Chains A and B, each alone.
Chain A
Amino acid sequence: MRKVNQKGWFFVLPVLALVAFNALVPMMTVVNYSVQETFGNNQFFWHGLGWFQDILRSERFHASLGRQALFTFMILVIEVPLGVIIALSMPRKGIWVPVCLVTMALPLLIPWNVIGAMWNIFTLPDIGLLGYLMNHVLGVNYNMTQDPVAAWITVIVMDVWHWTSLVVLLCYAGLVSIPDAYYQAAKIDGASNWSVFRYIQLPKMKQVLTIAVLLRFMDSFNVYTEPFVLTGGGPGNATTLLSIDLVKIALGQFDLGPAAAMSLIYFAITLFVSWLFYTLMTRNDTQ
């Protein structure tokens, strides 16, 4: 009979304590709020699943969730293919490699609220570089503080500008790890560029691409700082994404119960979709 060494548990304990401290304890506080009602004086009353029912039936939540889903969908549809294309067109050898890599990494190094502020100033109709150019040089009416469509376009372009680099760098890492021998074999076979991409580069990039899609999904679904600084959720509620709405309920209106319930639903959706993506994208590996 094999003897199981129970000492291994001691090595797991520090991690367990850390995770409990930074994830489990705060989350259980949220769970606690989500099933209670308070009228002040730090007195709480059991409310059951009432808040969850309210949130799931709330039109405001549906609208925010819809905007969030649309935002994330567009981000993925634009950033993933764009990132792959840019990674494919980057040089793999020579002095331009570090130049390209540093240029690509720059947007990722800027603090998120700075990005929001940057783009806010950039797009101001009268003094912003882009805003002035559009309105006074090209003659296009562009004002993202008043026009919902302009606001949406700006929010998405900003995110593409900020985050496509992440996809590029991950894909590039996958690409440079392909040995030259594969390209030589393809060359000898007379494979077309498309075949090289389809049968060599894409399969070899699959792992990093899975990571890239997952990261981009989670980050864009939970995005807060940049659109909040840029538009504040406006004009009206046009760019009020789920996280912005959540902060409004929790800290603006101080409705702790509904906000807690909404947080948990938000978390469940993120978790479920991430799991779905991961399962679908890695399914073929185990077949």
Chain B
Amino acid sequence: MALELRAISKRVGQITHVKETSLILEPGRFNVLLGETGSGKTSLIKLMAGLDRVASGTILMDGQDVTGVSPQKRNISLVHQFFVNYPHMTVFDNIASPLRVAGLAKSEIQGRVEAAADVLQLRPMLHRRPHELSGGQQQRTALARAIAKESTAVFLDEPLANLDYKLREELRDQLPELFAGRGAVVVYATSEPAEALMLGGRTALMQDGRVTQFGPTAEIYRRPNTLISARVFSDPPINSAPVTKTGDRVELGHGVGWQVTGAAAGLGDGAYTVAIRPNYISPVRSEASHVPMTGTVQITELSGSESTAHFRMGAETWVSLAPGVHPYRVGEDRVFYMDPAHCFYFAPDGALAA
């Protein structure tokens, strides 16, 4: 069972919401759609679920063309960012509703609902109504409905976005094992890079209605194929700046330059864009190879065990994210050390060069 998208697209009037997209989503591990708000994640999910019609292309489930098939005939589930439950039904009836529509036997419904409720720790709440539940419980009810339905595809559209921090972490930890071994294709949309990394599986990066890269999550994090992909999959935002390569040296300007090693050494001379994640720029020099950059501190944030500093060097603002507490003063000039081994070099057309 796999969900295959072949060159699907979606237009509303003159506006293209989803540009031609082809993906093969497999069961067994999470398929994460990662992109900013408005990048087309929800539009793509609606197309996959059959809630919207595609402008072109075909959707296959298990090799069967389901492009024009209505959502209720696709055996799918959708869990929203908002807590969508029938307001005047008990939790039990909410979980049971798709099973009743499908016409299952009473005993079968009872069994499935209770099994799903057990997995999601909803047993004691089965006879309550949604408005008597906490946000986390309401969202667990929506998840239980998806599990009890035994759908072949489950779409989770930022399901944790409206939960508070603690509940979000708790539920996020449970999610992968919740769907493990159920044979369903699970698609999970999120705007947080950290969430994609924690869920693992495969990730599709989305930008402007286009999937820019798709592959095992850790792999695409380590090797973004384009500058855009690197930007989508980085929080805080990845640093980037134009550099010039001559021989085995690259020059950033402002007297900052370094010797390239590894794959980057093989690049031809010319102009590139260098990108480096904020966690590879530190106020502390740990290796002799790290490149000093002097800038004026502009914004600082201290989040418990990590220190963030935005500093200005020439026309560009750089972000450093370092473990530990570093007392920055806004306005001071400070030296930061960048690890050149973790630089990405992108060609002028945006493709990864090294």
Contacts and interface: CB of A to CB of B under 8 A. Distances in A.
Determine the main DSSP class of A at the interface with B.
helix
Interface stretch (B71-79, B264-272, B286-294): B71-79
A204 B88 CA distance: 9
B298 interface: no
Given A199-B86, A200-B86, A203-B87, A187 B98 contact: no
Interface string B37-71: 00000000010010100000000000000000011
Query: For A179, A190, A203, which residue has the most chain B Cβ atoms within 10 angstroms?
Result: A190
Contact of A187 (B72, B77, B86, B97): B72
Nearest to A183: B51
Contacts of A284: 88
A184 B51 contact: yes
B101 A189 contact: yes
Contacts of A199: 86, 88-89, 97
Contacts of A187: 51, 70-72
Nearest to A191: B101
A280 interface: no
Contacts of A13: none
A185 B71 CA distance: 10
Contacts of A182: 84
Nearest to B99: A189
B102 interface: yes
Contacts, number: 52
A181 B87 CA distance: 13
Nearest to B129: A287
A188 B88 contact: no
Contacts of A200: 86-87
Contacts of B51: 184, 187-188
Contact of A190 (B78, B88, B102): B102
B19 interface: no
A189 B49 CA distance: 12
A51 to B, nearest CB: 47
A191 B78 CA distance: 14
Interface in B73-132: 73, 76-78, 80, 82, 84, 86-89, 97-98, 101-102
A204 B84 contact: no
A212 to B, nearest CB: 19
A187 B73 CA distance: 10
A131 B284 CA distance: 94
14 contacts: A184-B51, A184-B78, A185-B84, A187-B70, A187-B71, A188-B71, A188-B76, A189-B72, A189-B101, A190-B72, A190-B101, A191-B101, A204-B87, A284-B88
Given A179-B84, A188-B51, 16 more contacts: A179-B82, A181-B84, A182-B84, A184-B71, A185-B78, A187-B70, A188-B71, A188-B72, A188-B76, A188-B98, A189-B72, A191-B97, A191-B101, A199-B88, A199-B97, A203-B87
